[in-house]
Amino acid sequence: MKHILQHRAPPPIDTSRSDTHRSTSADRIATIVELGAATLAAERCAIALQSGAAAVNEVAYAPRGDSRWDAALNALLGALANRLGDADAARGRKRTRGAPGPIESIEGVALKEDELDAIARSEKIGDAHQLAASAFSDGASAVRIAIVARADRSRSELDASLGLMARAVFGEIALDSARASLEFWRTHGAENGRQAVGARHDLVQERAAMDYLDEAVAVARRAQPLDRFGRFGQLVAGGAGFDQWLVAVADSGSFIVAASSSGRKQFDLGENSALAESFRRHVVIARWRDREKDSLDRAGKYSEDKMFDGPYVCIPFEAGAIALASRDPRASAAKAEAIVERLAPFASNWMLERDAVRRSRLVRQLALRMFAAIDEERARIARDLHDDQAQLLAAAKIALDGPPEAARSIFTQVEESLRRKTRELRPATLGNASLDDAIDHELARLTSAKVKASFLHLTQQGVAVEISRPAQQLCFQIVREVISNVIRHAHAKSVQVTIGTSAGIVRVSVTDDGRGIGKRQSEGSGLTGVRERLALMGGGLTVESRAGRTTLVAEIPESA
């Protein structure tokens, strides 16, 4: 029979073991109790078993049917449970679930004489009988045994008998644990075998994937500059089971197609592009749903929906993103991500190399333009010296043979002309002057050339917006160069200069009413140099010209 002891805190009933195990174990424990009671000719014997950390109590009584002593036995078992708890707490030990320990590790705890006498008095046990109770633990399980024996039995005989009964119970616990372990391995052995086969298969696949990654890296290293992103797409698609792909990269502020499986590079990768969104947000975008069933719901959401014949996935990397498509269910986005992650550093290096080549080419072009401008400026100086100073010197020679006043006037003109040429050749710098003062000084040149000049520095709410010194310098150089062109070529009667700042952009506008720049006329080395400087600083130059009105507008980012 079974009984749940009530002491300190009611322990739960174990329902985890099967009915077969529970009944078999209980039958064997009941047999041990009956043998112990018969051996000692006891009136009543009880064994309480607490197995593992679940605090489960199974109590067996013998002989069967006689329960008049059960109140005394239950009191003894409860007192033993308290003694076990106190002993565990004193040792700092917590009973754990697991296999039972060896027989040699069993420790015993017995109730003292005064405790037994107190329970005997309370339960009215007469002088013809005596109580004995002991508890035993192996660290994982606990066995408590209580007995009502005749008074003529010696205490040592009772204690020895209780110890033997406890060891028999622990033996049954060990046997039950072994049987449960055997049943477990019989049940799960086949499954473990299948898992081992699966693990071996996964290991083979993983090794194959690693070999492919190593091969892909080797191919990427050998790829030629013009074929690099094509190789990138082929390696990712081939290793993951995709048959269509498209690689796009961020290049000079634009997101463009670098290579595709079809060979085309003209695709719309605007706001409705899944590739562009994947790169911008740095997230994987997958379109694995059945295109036929939900085509109406998804129509027009992404431009790639019309590019690919089947489901597709977009995977970002640092320099761009790749779109992969296939109707083959064996295509693996996870494999594709792993390959992209391994090859992404190569793509970044390729973009850096491309930028370095472009910068090197730009430097060479600028150097050639600089030398061409220098040669052109030297030729212009030579022409000016020949046209102006040479004529004035010839006139001076003639004047030397005439009146002194005429010679003095000619040499004064030569002096003024040389000073003007020297000033024009000097680099355009603000020095210590403000931008407005420097521009007013340049406008005086127009006044000397009998050209009406006006200057307007726009303000915001009556306050001039502060312009950084580098931007001021470039504004001055632009105005100075344009004024020089007006004086030389425009034949204008008036010039207006306007400077303003808006949204971090400094705008310089120069308008004249001269003859304009004809279609066959070039801007000259001065304006070409200005345009190149603006381009290097992220700005731009626009020129609108017709007969009677020419407007030049330069935009300079303050961030430059």
Question: Would the CA dihedral through 156, 162, 163, 168 be positive or negative?
Answer: positive
The reply to whether 250 and 298 lie within a common domain is yes
When the pLDDT of each residue in the chain is averaged and rounded to a whole number, the result is: 79
Residue type, 485: N
Q: Are residues 556 and 442 in the same domain?
A: yes
Number of folded domains in the chain? Answer: 3
For 515, other C-beta atoms within 10 Å of its C-beta total 16
User: 136 pairs with which residues across the strands?
Assistant: 108, 143
Are residues 152 and 268 both part of a single domain?
Answer: no
Pick from 31, 36, 57: nearest CA to 164:
36
Closest CA to 83 of 130, 57, 174, 91: 91
What is the distance between the alpha carbons of residues 69 and 37, in angstroms, rounded to a whole number? 13
Distance in Å from the first CA to the final CA of the chain? 94
Which amino acid would we find at residue 68? R
Place of tokens 């100086």: 381
Q: Is 282 left (phi over 0), alpha (psi -120 to 50) or beta?
A: left
| pLDDT tens per residue across span 218-272 | 887 887 888 888 889 888 888 888 988 999 998 877 888 889 988 888 877 777 8
Model confidence at 101, in pLDDT bands (50, 70, 90)?
A: low
Give the residue from 186, 212, 235 where a domain finishes: 186
| Three-state DSSP string of 387-425 | HHHHHHHHHHHHHHCCCHHHHHHHHHHHHHHHHHHHHHH
CA distances from 305 to 99, 141, 260, 288, 362 (A): 61, 66, 16, 11, 39
The DSSP call for residue 499 is E
Q: Is residue 469 part of a domain?
A: yes
105 located within any domain: yes
DSSP for 311-334 reads -EEEEEETTEEEEEE-S-TT--HH
What CATH number does the domain containing 511 carry?
3.30.565.10
Q: Which phi and psi (to 5°) does residue 388 adopt? A: -100, -65
**DSSP 8-state secondary structure symbol assigned to residue 486:** I
Q: Say if residue 25 is in the same domain as residue 160.
A: yes
- DSSP letter, residue 124: T
CATH number for position 88: 3.30.450
Residue 31 has pLDDT above 70, yes or no: yes
**Do the Cβ atoms of 232 and 346 come closer than 8 Å?**
yes
Residue type, 536: L
554 and 438 assigned to the same domain: yes
Q: Is the pLDDT of residue 6 over 50?
A: no
Burial 521-548 (b: 16+ CB within 10 A, else e): eebbbbbbbbbbbbeebebebeeebeee
pLDDT at 423: 60
| 24 shares its domain with 119 | yes
Quick check: is 24 in a domain? Answer: yes
pLDDT band, very low/low/confident/very high, at 11 (cuts 50, 70, 90):
very low
Amino acid at 237: A
| Domain interval for residue 463 | 429-560
In this structure, the chain runs to a length of 560
Among 139, 166, 186, the domain boundary falls at: 186
**Is there a single domain that holds both residue 163 and residue 256?**
no
Check pLDDT > 60 for residue 169: yes
pLDDT band at residue 292 using 50, 70 and 90 as cut-offs: very low
The predicted pLDDT at position 525 comes to: 57
* 359 in any annotated domain: no
**Inter-residue long-range contacts of 96-101, CB under 8 Å, 24+ positions, other chains counted:** 96/52, 96/53, 96/139, 96/140, 97/52, 97/53, 97/54, 97/140, 98/52, 98/140, 99/140, 99/174, 99/177, 99/181, 100/138, 100/140, 100/141, 100/170, 100/173, 100/174, 100/177, 101/138, 101/139, 101/140
pLDDT of residue 96: 54
The H or E element that residue 498 is part of is: strand 494-502
Q: Are residue 254 and residue 179 in the same domain, yes or no?
A: no
Please say which residue of 156, 186, 216 terminates a domain.
Answer: 186
Q: Which of 239-248, 283-292, 381-390 has the lowest mean pLDDT?
A: 381-390
Same domain assignment for residues 140 and 279: no
Would 32 be classed as within a structural domain? yes
Contact 275, 321 (CB under 8 A): yes
> Are residues 132 and 259 located together in one domain of the fold?
no
Q: Is residue 406 part of a domain?
A: no
For residues 549 and 513, the answer to whether their CB atoms sit within 8 Å is: yes
**Averaged pLDDT for residues 12-28:** 53
